[in-house]
Amino acid sequence: MTAGAIYGLMAEFETPTELVEAAKGAYAAGYRKMDTYTPYPLEEAAEAIGAHHNRVSLVVLVGAMLGMIGGYSLEYWVSAVAYPINVGGKPFHSWPAFIPVTFECAILGACLAAVFGMLALNGLPQPYHPVFNSPNFVRASRDRFFLCIESQDPRFSPSDTRKLLESYKPEEITEVPY
């Protein structure tokens, strides 16, 4: 099989410690296009492959700002422009009374941005992904830890990469077809 025909090489580990060690080793060897697959969030694994920065917070901030501005503008427009009613002599633009709804709208915008922003940045929903072709991959959502070095990486070579992964004594190494 040529290098282009496979998605990558997948190594399966039994413990998180072994996985992180292998991921660090692969990163030190210069591999960048790789990913780990774990049954629960493993901060060390993300750090090992250099993926511990993300832009979710920025998306959430934008969501909160949009919610805040949207909520307040709506209240201002309704109360002072579209339907001005004198309530107890208060000004039409009675801003202190508008704060609770502005706050709720900011939270709403931020929460929607957090969830849908996270999904969008992750490229989900994604019905098909090559890693699911790996025969034992169902255990990635159960009790096994996987490291996949992708064939797109410039340093990838079926034999050398396999040798590197083998040096970390995984349970199994499989080729992941597209």
Q: Which of 42, 62, 66, 173 binds other proteins (CB under 8 A)?
A: 42
Asked if 171 and 13 count as a contact pair (C-beta separation under 8 A), the reply is yes
Does 141 bind other proteins (CB under 8 A)? Our answer is yes
Beta carbon nearer to other proteins, 65 or 157: 65
Q: Is 17 exposed, middle or buried (0-12, 13-18, 19+ CB in 10 A)?
A: exposed
Select from 6, 10, 22, 110 the one that contacts other proteins (CB under 8 A): 110
Q: Contact region for other proteins (CB under 8 A) — 3-11, 47-55, 152-160, 162-170?
A: 47-55
CB atoms within 10 A of CB 52: 11
Considering the rule CB under 8 A, would residue 90 count as an interface residue with other proteins? yes
CA 72 vs CA 80, 92, 99: distances in Å:
12, 13, 8
Q: How far apart are CA 94 and CA 104, in angstroms?
A: 17
For residue 150, give the 3-state DSSP assignment: strand
Is 49 an interacting residue with respect to other proteins (CB under 8 A)? yes
Q: Which residue has the tokens 């502005």?
A: 102
Question: Which residues make up the interface to other proteins (CB under 8 A)?
Answer: 15-17, 20, 35-46, 49, 51-52, 54, 56-57, 60, 71, 74-75, 78-79, 82-83, 85, 87, 90, 94, 97-98, 100-101, 103-105, 107-108, 110-112, 114-115, 117-119, 121-122, 124-129, 131-132, 137-143
